[in-house]
Amino acid sequence: MATEVLMPALSPTMEEGTLAKWLVKEGDTVASGDIMAEIETDKATMEFEAVDEGVIGKILVEAGTEGVKVNTPIAVLIAEGEEVPAAGATAETAPAPAALNREEGKVASPATAAPVPAAPKADTTPDWPEGTKMKTQTVREALRDAMAEEMRSTDEVFVMGEEVAEYQGAYKITQGLLDEFGARRVIDTPITEHGFAGIGVGAAFGGLKPIVEFMTFNFAMQAIDHLLNSAAKTLYMSGGQMGCPIVFRGPNGAAARVGAQHSQCYAAWYSSIPGLKVAMPYSAADAKGLLKTAIRDPNPVIFLENEILYGRSFDVPDLEDFTVPFGKAKIWREGSDLTIVSFGIGMTYALEAAERLAKDGISAEVLDLRTLRPMDTDAILASVMKTNRLITVEEGFPQSSVGNYITSVVMEQAFDYLDAPVINLCGKDVPMPYAANLEKLALVTTDEVVEAAHKVTYR
């Protein structure tokens, strides 16, 4: 049976090309792999190989022809001894390529298609039942307890990272875990973030539930390919077959006087990646409840801690199995004049400012996002619709910040409710300086939050 040989697409973008040269002539026998022609694309001259065996019955497009469209028949291949069919009459044409359906494939993103919502209802159920006994704990102790509890209940959970075992953790977050769980489950790694992040992801593919500690998230930059390309995207790329239940945790953001390379907040970076979940607790109770949720989550979770908060004490519910759900903001303080949205250490400034503003007669509602992905935008919108004014507070850089994203959500979904422009308070647009006075200036301050509150309330 005769087969038409079609002009091939030789690159992802090629639509037409020049048939530069035929290397076979009519009557020649070809086998798969034999070069039949040279074809010039916009990028290069490529050799075109035969895929089927047969005899060149007829050459349809002469050498030197320019602008030959992809899929135009350029020759007819026949079986040995067969007649060349009359032009175009009986040749079996290979099917035309599938329509790309690019236009049809356009799907409106829910963000732009969503109608202006009725006032969304924030989930304000309390994190623990009334009357629960509380104990005072540091964030450090709460994080350790969360890991220990999950390790006790599930053998697949293990911790790996630099100095997590014998040294008891560079910041003592893993203190005591080696003694309780042994070297099989509490694993010191060499200083090779790229490598051990990849091994952690592979172990998660293999059915374990790794907790990978980065001594700080600055060092995760060496490993970020595995966090994004290997961990976050695999479920999607595998059509839902292959998930990656892993927690990457460690201190994030500025500590104190450690300079530019050790002082960066990655909240905005990781929270822009579909496939990742991102938690950034402020209090000890949230640190514990969110970390337990993170370890149980079947998806990769970026868990951003803060060195300065590690030693701070909070009330933690004394419950056997206390967890905090992802995607549920916490209202630390109710108010009516403006909304302050923050997360992580930014909450320190937000709460201090609210206290001071109260003395000036300004009532601020303070929201702690707790997780940035999923983000509780309902809680933000509900609050803004009540107060009509919004400021956001974070330590990260100002361009493409988390606050910028929150602002866009509020602009799109609650524009008519705003009585003043939203203000995003961030760290300054500079690498972190070492000098004590400059470092202080580079971070967001309580004074700035207070000042912004006056600005949006025009008081």
Partner 1 sequence: MAVKKPAAKSNVSAEELLGYYRDMLLIRRFEEKAGQLYGMGLIGGFCHLYIGQEAVVVGLEAAAKEGDKRITSYRDHGHMLACGMDPKGVMAELTGREGGYSKGKGGSMHMFSKEKHFYGGHGIVGAQVPLGAGLAFSDKYKGNDNVTFTYFGDGAANQGQVYETYNMAMLWDLPVIFVIENNKYAMGTSVQRATRSPSLWERGAAYGITGEEVDGMDVLAVKAAGEKAVAHCRAGKGPYILEVMTYRYRGHSMSDPAKYRTRDEVQKMRSERDAIEHVRELLLTGKHATEDDLKNIDKDIKAVVNEAAEFSKESPEPALEELWTDIYA
Active site residues: 193, 262
| 278 touching partner 1, by CB under 8 A | no
Q: Are 259 and 236 in contact (CB under 8 A)?
A: no
Segment interacting with partner 1, rule: CB under 8 A, options 36-44, 57-65, 83-91, 355-363: 36-44
Q: How far is the CB of 203 from partner 1 (least distance, A)?
A: 4
User: How many CB atoms within 10 Å of residue 357?
Assistant: 22
Q: How many residues bind partner 1 (CB under 8 A)?
A: 70
- When the beta carbons of 33 and 361 are compared against partner 1, the nearer one is 33
Alpha-carbon span 311 to 138, nearest angstrom: 5
Q: How far is the CB of 295 from partner 1 (least distance, A)?
A: 14
Q: Minimal CA–CA distance to 403: which of 280, 267, 303?
A: 267
Given 3-state DSSP classes, what are the helix, strand and coil percentages for the chain, each rounded to the nearest 5? 30, 20, 45
| 325 touching partner 1, by CB under 8 A | no
| 42 touching partner 1, by CB under 8 A | no
Among 123, 225, 412, 419, binds partner 1 (CB under 8 A): 225
| 90 touching partner 1, by CB under 8 A | no
| 229 touching partner 1, by CB under 8 A | yes
How far out from the chain centre does Cα 136 lie? 33
Among 203, 211, 353, 410, binds partner 1 (CB under 8 A): 203
**Alpha-helical runs (H) found in 243-344:** 267-271, 284-296, 307-310
The residue to which tokens 């609210």 are assigned: 354
How far apart, in Å, are the Cα atoms of 418 and each of 212, 245, 361, 451? 42, 40, 21, 18
**Phi and psi of 212, rounded to 5°?**
-100, 120
Among 41, 72, 175, 363, binds partner 1 (CB under 8 A): 41
How far apart, in Å, are the Cα atoms of 164 and each of 43, 92, 188, 212, 312? 52, 67, 6, 10, 21
| 361 touching partner 1, by CB under 8 A | no
The residue to which tokens 């022609």 are assigned: 37
| 46 touching partner 1, by CB under 8 A | yes
Cβ burial of 439 (10 Å; 0-12, 13-18, 19+) is: middle
* DSSP secondary structure code for residue 397 in this structure: -
Q: Are 34 and 51 in contact (CB under 8 A)?
A: no
Among 192, 261, 400, 408, binds partner 1 (CB under 8 A): 192
Strand, helix or coil for residue 277: strand
50 φ/ψ sector (left φ>0, alpha ψ -120 to 50, else beta): beta
Among 65, 132, 175, 299, binds partner 1 (CB under 8 A): 299
| 33 touching partner 1, by CB under 8 A | yes
Q: Are 395 and 347 in contact (CB under 8 A)?
A: no
Segment interacting with partner 1, rule: CB under 8 A, options 99-107, 114-122, 165-173, 450-458: 99-107
Among 137, 174, 218, 234, binds partner 1 (CB under 8 A): 234
What would the two tokens of residue 410 be? 């509020």
Q: How far is the CB of 183 from partner 1 (least distance, A)?
A: 10
Among 186, 201, 211, 287, binds partner 1 (CB under 8 A): 201
- When the beta carbons of 126 and 206 are compared against partner 1, the nearer one is 206
| 51 touching partner 1, by CB under 8 A | yes
| 158 touching partner 1, by CB under 8 A | yes
Q: Are 212 and 244 in contact (CB under 8 A)?
A: no
Alpha-carbon span 426 to 445, nearest angstrom: 9
User: Half-sphere exposure (CA, 13 Å, Cβ side) for 434?
Assistant: 3
Q: How far is the CB of 274 from partner 1 (least distance, A)?
A: 5
Among 170, 197, 345, 453, binds partner 1 (CB under 8 A): 197
| 199 touching partner 1, by CB under 8 A | yes
| 113 touching partner 1, by CB under 8 A | no
Segment interacting with partner 1, rule: CB under 8 A, options 79-87, 164-172, 203-211, 433-441: 203-211
Alpha-carbon span 25 to 37, nearest angstrom: 10
Q: Are 226 and 205 in contact (CB under 8 A)?
A: no
Q: How far is the CB of 157 from partner 1 (least distance, A)?
A: 11
Q: How far is the CB of 14 from partner 1 (least distance, A)?
A: 8
- When the beta carbons of 251 and 300 are compared against partner 1, the nearer one is 300
Segment interacting with partner 1, rule: CB under 8 A, options 27-35, 377-385, 396-404, 445-453: 27-35
CA distance between the termini of the chain: 87
Among 11, 29, 124, 400, binds partner 1 (CB under 8 A): 11
Chain residues in the site for partner 1 (CB under 8 A): 6, 8-12, 14, 32-33, 35, 41, 43-49, 51, 70-71, 94-98, 101, 105, 107, 158, 184, 187, 189-190, 192, 194-208, 225-226, 229-230, 234-243, 245, 274-275, 277, 298-299
